Amino acid sequence: MEFSIRAANVEDCKEISRMIMELAEYEKVVDKVKVTQRDLEQDGFSKNPFFHGIIAEVPEQLKSKEGHTKIGYALYFFSYSSWKGRAVFMEDLYVMPDFRGKGIGKALMSKVAQLGMAAGCNQLNFTVLDWNKSSVDFYLSQGCTDVTSELGYHYMSCNGEALEHLAQP
């Protein structure tokens, strides 16, 4: 299938926001999504952006039944490992269901890897839900390591009142 991958720009935020919601529906966490189109515009496309994005697009004649030509995306940001140095973190990787199995997800992930390596990164990191077997299998088939299973690293988070309390001097 004909498709292209390009850097996201501020005009893509409406469609990214739509796809974030679709991904959340798939992951069964719609109620946890607080990020709006406006947030994406501010956080990703002002000075010192918090993330970068890439978009997968198909030509008009291949648009989805709902009329979308932007049919996949990945968000990423640069990070750091005090052992291994520069790293790129892939926050989201999503392709609309009707467009799966055509190499678009792989192409998006490959682009994030390329962009990371071009910036001197020697690691691509991300998280995956353990029940999402098809994604886990895909990542393992690409030579990725499950750091949680192999080394015992757990991902932890502090937010809401706990974060406010912690931040008090």
Where in the sequence numbering do the catalytic residues fall?
A: 139
Give the nearer residue to a copy of itself in terms of CB position, either 37 or 63.
Answer: 37
| Shortest Å distance, C-beta 60 to a copy of itself | 24
Binding part of the chain for a copy of itself, among 6-14, 62-70, 97-105, 134-142 by CB under 8 A, reads 134-142
Number of residues that bind a copy of itself (CB under 8 A): 73
Hey, which residues does 55 pair with through a beta bridge?
Answer: 6, 73
Q: What angle do CA 56, 25, 95 make, to 5 degrees?
A: 15
In our burial notation (b when 16+ CB lie closer than 10 A, e otherwise), range 137-162 reads ebbeeeeeeeeeeeeeeeeeeeeeee
Q: Binding a copy of itself by CB under 8 A: which of 85, 97, 101, 103?
A: 85
Q: Exactly one of 7, 9, 81, 101 binds a copy of itself (CB under 8 A); which one?
A: 81
Minimum CB distance to a copy of itself, residue 102 (Å): 16
37-44 helix and 13-26 helix, angle to the nearest 10 degrees: 120
Tokens of 91: 């926050």
Regarding 109 and contact with a copy of itself (CB under 8 A), the answer is yes
117 near a copy of itself (CB under 8 A): yes
Query: Which is nearer to a copy of itself, 63 or 113 (by Cβ)?
Result: 113
- The dihedrals phi and psi of 101, each to the nearest 5 degrees, come to 75, 15
Answer yes or no whether residue 153 interacts with a copy of itself by CB under 8 A. Answer: yes
Report CA-CA distances (Å) from 90 to 115, 125, 128: 11, 6, 10
Q: CB nearer to a copy of itself: give 63 or 86.
A: 86
**Under the criterion CB under 8 A, does residue 134 sit at the interface with a copy of itself?**
no
Q: Which two tokens stand for residue 124?
A: 């691509």
